[in-house]
Structure formats: structure tokens, C-alpha cells
């Protein structure tokens, strides 16, 4: 691991209370998140499980203040002592990337197609004044990419996103989310496009950040193996609600809610059909 993440991390705690998000789309209102409460303490990881359409991505985006254009949000999202609900776009932009890192489900949503990956990393470091000047920011870029599992960081830094494979774009998005040393990382299925070795490397990085640097991690995944490896706690979402939550080992070994049990049985080797 490089020293790039050795900069001081300010511990953050996430507290979500009774959060409801209604999308107003062409098909009428969709209650994507329906009264969700959860907490993630510093130095712990919460894995959010649940089938497609259960509201995981809407929840993740709402936590960073990007619920969607026509979304109606109710409830409370607190980052340590800051209530995010009351903040304007400018204040949120100062928190996003600096105090909270976010890896979207689609890495292309994180990357500017028109700019080289290295320039995007340099820009986020400068915007949040993490490094002292442009030269120092540029110098930090290869280490950030290396830490995110990129084998040839110099080439990747010089590339535009479209010149990279999906797996490399995903790692670039991870590097961008972690560049400023956030105290909370929200990652939405961040390893889906990665082969097993690189996935292990990225998960090791996350585990390192949680265990050694004390960040709080909210990881959306449908992979029970990932949850078991990274998570301290897990929550199962269905139709916008959390139907069960608890320590990962308990939830995966002895889920109580029938839906959680079915999800776990279907996902674990030898269980269910999938």
C-alpha cells in the first residue's frame, strides 16, 4: 500500500433517520426509499444487500445530496454533527469528495469523459485544498491510482476514460472517491466490473481504510462473499425498506426475515438456485 492515504482522516459517523425518497417520474410517484434508518460508526462497514430495484442506489445517492432531479426527500441524514438535509448545493459540494467519498454504481457517472483521469484527480485535490499546489497534486496521482489497484498508474493517469476498460474506469472512480481522504465512503457495487484478483485488491484497500484509518464504509453489494469479507454489519433492503439488519455473520448464518433468508440462500454457494 502506498503512503497516499496516510493523510489524516477525520472520523465521520453516518446517522440516517426515517429517510423517505419519492421519485416523481413519467410513471407517477415511486417510493424508492421508505422510512429507512441506519447508522455507520467510524471504523466500521455496513453492507447494504437487496435485489435490483429495492432502492439501494437511490439511498446511496440521497446520502450525498443527489437523490435525482424530481425526487422528494423527507427525513434526516446526519454526517457527524452536520445535518445534510438543510444544506445548500455549495455547502454540499464542499462535503462531497472531501468528507464523503462516493463511488457510483456506474463509474462513468463519476468520470468526466472529456478529461484525462490524472487531470480529474489533480482537480479534486486542488478543489478541496488537500495538497499544497498543483505540482504536489500531480505528484500524488500515481499513488492514488496504485492504491486503487491500477497496475500502470502513469498510463491510466494520461488516458481519457473511454480509452480504459470498464474495470480500469471502476478503479479510477474508486481512486477519485478516496483522493481527499474522506471519513465516510459510500460505494455502490464498486467491484462488479473487476476480475477476482483486482476485486480482492480493492476490497483489501477498503478493509485497510476501515480497520487502520477508521473510515466509515457503506457498501452496496449483492455479493454475500464481499459482505462477509468486508462488513461488520449488514442490512437487507426490500421495496425501499430495511427488512433486517445486524452483524454480518449473524445475518448470513441465521437470517430471521423470510425475504432476507431467501436472498441469502439464493446467493450462497450450495443454497437456492442462484
Ligand X SMILES: Nc1ncnc2c1ncn2[C@@H]1O[C@H](COP(=O)(O)OP(=O)(O)O)[C@@H](O)[C@H]1O
> What residues make contact with ligand X under the rule CB under 6 A?
23, 25, 30, 32, 50, 52-58, 68
Residue 25: name its binding partner from Mg ion, ligand X, none (Cβ under 5 to 8 Å by kind): ligand X
CA distance 18 to 24: 19
Identify which of residues 22 and 84 has a Cβ nearer to ligand X in the complex: 22
Q: Residue 181, exposed/middle/buried by CB under 10 A (0-12, 13-18, 19+)? A: buried
Identify which of residues 146 and 223 has a Cβ nearer to Mg ion in the complex: 223
CA distance 233 to 103: 20
Dump strand ranges (E) for the chain.
14-25, 28-40, 45-49, 71-79, 82-83, 100-103, 184-188, 216-220, 233-238, 241-247
Least gap, CB of 47 to ligand X (angstroms): 13
Determine phi and psi for 152, rounding to 5 degrees: -120, 75
Interacting positions 48-67 with Mg ion (CB under 5 A): 56-57
Residue 3: name its binding partner from ligand X, Mg ion, none (Cβ under 5 to 8 Å by kind): none
Residue 30: name its binding partner from ligand X, Mg ion, none (Cβ under 5 to 8 Å by kind): ligand X
Listed in sequence order, the residues at least 6 apart from 225 whose beta carbon sits closer than 8 Å to its beta carbon are none
Residue 101: name its binding partner from ligand X, Mg ion, none (Cβ under 5 to 8 Å by kind): none
Identify which of residues 49 and 145 has a Cβ nearer to ligand X in the complex: 49
| Rg of the chain (C-alpha set) | 18
Least gap, CB of 57 to ligand X (angstroms): 3
Q: Residue 225, exposed/middle/buried by CB under 10 A (0-12, 13-18, 19+)? A: middle
CA distance 28 to 22: 10
Identify which of residues 26 and 113 has a Cβ nearer to ligand X in the complex: 26
Listed in sequence order, the residues at least 6 apart from 42 whose beta carbon sits closer than 8 Å to its beta carbon are 11, 12, 13, 183, 214, 215, 216
Identify which of residues 57 and 120 has a Cβ nearer to ligand X in the complex: 57
Residue 66: name its binding partner from Mg ion, ligand X, none (Cβ under 5 to 8 Å by kind): none
Identify which of residues 150 and 186 has a Cβ nearer to Mg ion in the complex: 186
Q: In Å, what is the CA distance from 160 to each residue of 16, 97, 163, 228? A: 36, 21, 6, 35
SS3 60: helix
Identify which of residues 38 and 179 has a Cβ nearer to Mg ion in the complex: 38
Interacting positions 134-153 with Mg ion (CB under 5 A): none
Listed in sequence order, the residues at least 6 apart from 125 whose beta carbon sits closer than 8 Å to its beta carbon are 131, 137, 140, 179, 180
Stretch that binds Mg ion, among 89-97, 103-111, 121-129, 223-231 (CB under 5 A): 103-111
Residue 99: name its binding partner from ligand X, Mg ion, none (Cβ under 5 to 8 Å by kind): none
Stretch that binds Mg ion, among 18-26, 32-40, 102-110, 134-142 (CB under 5 A): 102-110
Stretch that binds Mg ion, among 70-78, 104-112, 126-134, 152-160 (CB under 5 A): 104-112
Interacting positions 165-184 with Mg ion (CB under 5 A): none
Residues that bind Mg ion (CB under 5 A): 56-57, 105
Amino acid at each position: 500500500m502506498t503512503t497516499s492515504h496516510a493523510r489524516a482522516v477525520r472520523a465521520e459517523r453516518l446517522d440516517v433517520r426515517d429517510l423517505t425518497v419519492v421519485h416523481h417520474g413519467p410513471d407517477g410517484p415511486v417510493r424508492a426509499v421508505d422510512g429507512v434508518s441506519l447508522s455507520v460508526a467510524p471504523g466500521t462497514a455496513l453492507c447494504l444487500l437487496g435485489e435490483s430495484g429495492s432502492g439501494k442506489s437511490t439511498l446511496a445517492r440521497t446520502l450525498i445530496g443527489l437523490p435525482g432531479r424530481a425526487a422528494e426527500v423527507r427525513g434526516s441524514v446526519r454526517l457527524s454533527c452536520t445535518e445534510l438535509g438543510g444544506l445548500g448545493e455549495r455547502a454540499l459540494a464542499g462535503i462531497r469528495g472531501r468528507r464523503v467519498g462516493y463511488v457510483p454504481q456506474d463509474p462513468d457517472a463519476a468520470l468526466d469523459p472529456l478529461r484525462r483521469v490524472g487531470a480529474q484527480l489533480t482537480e479534486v485535490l486542488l478543489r478541496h485544498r488537500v495538497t499544497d499546489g498543483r505540482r504536489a497534486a500531480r505528484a500524488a496521482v500515481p499513488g492514488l491510482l496504485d492504491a486503487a489497484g491500477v497496475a500502470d498508474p502513469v498510463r491510466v493517469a494520461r488516458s481519457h476514460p473511454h480509452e480504459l476498460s470498464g474495470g480500469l474506469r471502476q478503479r479510477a472512480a474508486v481512486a477519485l472517491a478516496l483522493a481527499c481522504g474522506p471519513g465516510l465512503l459510500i460505494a455502490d457495487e464498486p467491484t462488479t466490473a473487476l476480475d477476482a484478483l483486482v476485486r480482492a485488491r480493492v476490497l483489501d484497500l477498503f478493509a485497510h481504510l476501515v480497520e487502520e484509518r477508521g473510515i466509515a464504509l457503506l457498501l452496496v453489494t449483492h455479493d454475500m462473499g464481499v459482505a462477509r469479507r468486508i462488513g461488520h454489519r449488514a442490512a437487507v433492503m426490500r421495496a425501499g425498506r430495511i427488512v433486517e439488519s445486524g452483524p454480518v455473520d449473524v445475518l448470513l448464518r441465521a437470517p430471521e426475515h423470510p425475504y432476507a433468508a431467501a436472498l441469502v440462500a439464493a446467493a450462497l454457494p450450495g443454497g437456492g438456485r442462484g
